[in-house]
Structure 1
Amino acid sequence: MRDLDKALADIFAIRSQIAVGTAFHGYGPAVVAATGGLALVTAACQFLWLDDPTGHPLIFFLGWAATAFVCVGMIWIEMQARSRRHHSGLSDAMIHQAVEQFLPAGVAGALLAVMLWKFAPETLWMLPGLWQVLVSLGVFASVRSLPRTVAFAGAWYFVAGFAVLMLASDSHALSPWTMGLPFAIGQLLMAAVLHFASGDIDVED
C-alpha cells in the first residue's frame, strides 16, 4: 500500500512539473472580454442610480463584489471546459496552477476590504486603486504560464491603480468610473492579448 501511495504521489509530482512548463489555454478571450463589458455595465448602472457612492459605500462595494463574483464564475466555467479540451489529462494540474498564481492577490483584496471597512472606513476611497494594483500583481504572477505580452495588462492595472489613488486623494470620493473604466480596459486588453498571442512560442520556458 505504501508503494502505491508513493507511486501516486510521484505521478502527481510529475504532472505538476509538466504543468509548470506548459502554456495555459484555459482563459477564453471572449469570456474575459465579457467581464470587461460587465464592469462597464456595473459602472453605468451605479452612475445612473446611485446618487452618492461616497455616502453609500456599502451599496457601492456590494455592487462591485457581486460583479466580481459573476465574473469569476464565468471565467471558472470557461476555464474548466477549455482546460479539459486543451490539456486533457493535465487539466486539473493546470487549473490548480492558474488558481494558485492568482489566489494570493484575490485573498489579499478581500481581506483588505474587510479590514478597511471594520477598522478604517474613512480610507475606503483607496480601495478601488488598491484592488487594481493587486490585480496587476496577480496578472504578473501568471505571466510564466500565459503569453508574455499579458504583462501589458498587468502594467495597465498597476498604472491605473496608482492613477486612481492620486485622482481620489483630494476628494476621497468613490466613483463608479474609477472602478469600471480601468477594469473594462484591462480586461479587454487581456482578451486581445489572449486572442492574438502566438501560443507556445509566446510563453516563457
Structure 2
Amino acid sequence: MGEFDKALTDIANIRSQLAAGTLFRGFGPAVIAVTGGLALVAAVAQSAWPAVLADGPVRFVLCWIAVAVVAVALVGVEMLARSRRLHGGMADAMILAAVEQFLPAGVAGAAVTAAVLKYAADAVWILPGLWQILVALGLFASLRSLPRSIGLAGAWYLLAGIAVFILASGSRELSPWMMGVPFALGQGLMAVLLRTANGGDDGQPV
C-alpha cells in the first residue's frame, strides 16, 4: 500500500510539473474585456452618483471590492469551462497552478486593504495605485503559464499604479477615474494580447 501511495504521489507531482510548464489557455479574451468594461461602468456610476457609491472612503472601497468580486466570478466561471474544454484531463492541475501563481498578490491586496481601512483610514487614497501594482506583480508571477506578451499588460498596470500614486499624492482624494481608466485599458490590453496569442476567443486558430 505504501508503494501504491508513493506512485500516486509521483503521478500527482508529474501532473503538477507538466501543468506549471504548459501554456494556460483558460482565460477567455471576451470575458477579460468585459471586466474592463465593468470597471469603466463602475467609474461612471461613482461619478454620477457619488452620494450613493462614493460617499466617503469606505463606501468608495466597498464599491470597488464588489466590482472585483463580480469580475473574479466571471473570469472564474469562464476559466473552469475553457480549461475543461481546452486542457481536458489536465484542467484541474492547470487551474490550480494558475491560481497559485496569482494568489499571493491577491491575498496581499486583501490584507493591506483591510489593514488600511481599519487602522489608517486617512491613507485610503493609496489603495487604487497599490491595487494596480499588485495586479502587475500577479501578472508577472503568472508569466510561466501565460503568453509572454502578457508581460506588457503587467508593465501597464505597474506604470499606471505608479502614475496614480503620483497623481493622488497631491490632493489625497479618491477618484473613480483613477480606478476605472487604468483597469479598463489594462483589461482591454490583456484581452487583445490573449486573443492574439491564443488565436481567437475560443482558443482555436483564427
TM-score bracket, normalised by the shorter chain, equals over 0.9
- Residues 53 and 174, structure 1, Cα contact 8 Å, conserved in 2: no
Q: Which amino acid aligns with 2:156?
A: W
1:160 counterpart residue number: 160
Q: Which amino acid aligns with 1:27?
A: F
2:94 counterpart residue number: 94
1:202 counterpart residue number: none
Unaligned 5+ residue runs, structure 1?
200-205
> Identity over the aligned pairs, expressed in percent?
58
2:149 aligned counterpart, secondary structure? helix
Looking at structure 2, the residues matched to 70 and 192 of structure 1 have their Cα atoms a distance apart, in angstroms, of 21
- Greater shift after overlay, 120-129 or 49-58? 49-58
2:58 counterpart residue number: 58
What is the number of residues matched between the two proteins? 199
Q: Which amino acid aligns with 2:76?
A: W
Q: Which amino acid aligns with 1:141?
A: A
Once the two structures are superposed, the pairs formed by residues 116-127 of structure 1 within 5 Å of their partners are 116-127=116-127
1:166 aligned counterpart, secondary structure? helix
Offset at 1:101?
0.6
Looking at structure 1, the residues matched to 99 and 132 of structure 2 have their Cα atoms a distance apart, in angstroms, of 18
Once the two structures are superposed, the pairs formed by residues 1-205 of structure 1 within 5 Å of their partners are 1-51=1-51, 56-197=56-197
Q: Which amino acid aligns with 1:94?
A: M
Unaligned 5+ residue runs, structure 2?
200-206
Looking at structure 2, the residues matched to 196 and 189 of structure 1 have their Cα atoms a distance apart, in angstroms, of 11
For the structure 1 residues 159 and 52, does the alpha-carbon distance in structure 2 shift closer, same or farther, using more than 3 Å as the test?
farther
Q: Which amino acid aligns with 2:130?
A: L
Offset at 1:69?
0.3
Offset at 1:59?
1.1
Offset at 1:3?
1.8
Looking at structure 2, the residues matched to 146 and 184 of structure 1 have their Cα atoms a distance apart, in angstroms, of 20
Q: Which amino acid aligns with 1:16?
A: S
- Greater shift after overlay, 29-38 or 53-62? 53-62
1:203 counterpart residue number: none
Q: Which amino acid aligns with 1:165?
A: F
Q: Which amino acid aligns with 1:22?
A: T
For the structure 1 residues 86 and 121, does the alpha-carbon distance in structure 2 shift closer, same or farther, using more than 3 Å as the test?
same
- Residues 25 and 82, structure 2, Cα contact 8 Å, conserved in 1: yes
State the TM-score, normalizing by the size of structure 1: 0.94
> Segments of 4+ in structure 1 off by > 4 A?
51-55
Q: Which amino acid aligns with 1:138?
A: G
Offset at 1:52?
9.3
Over the residues paired in the alignment, what is the CA RMSD in angstroms? 1.4
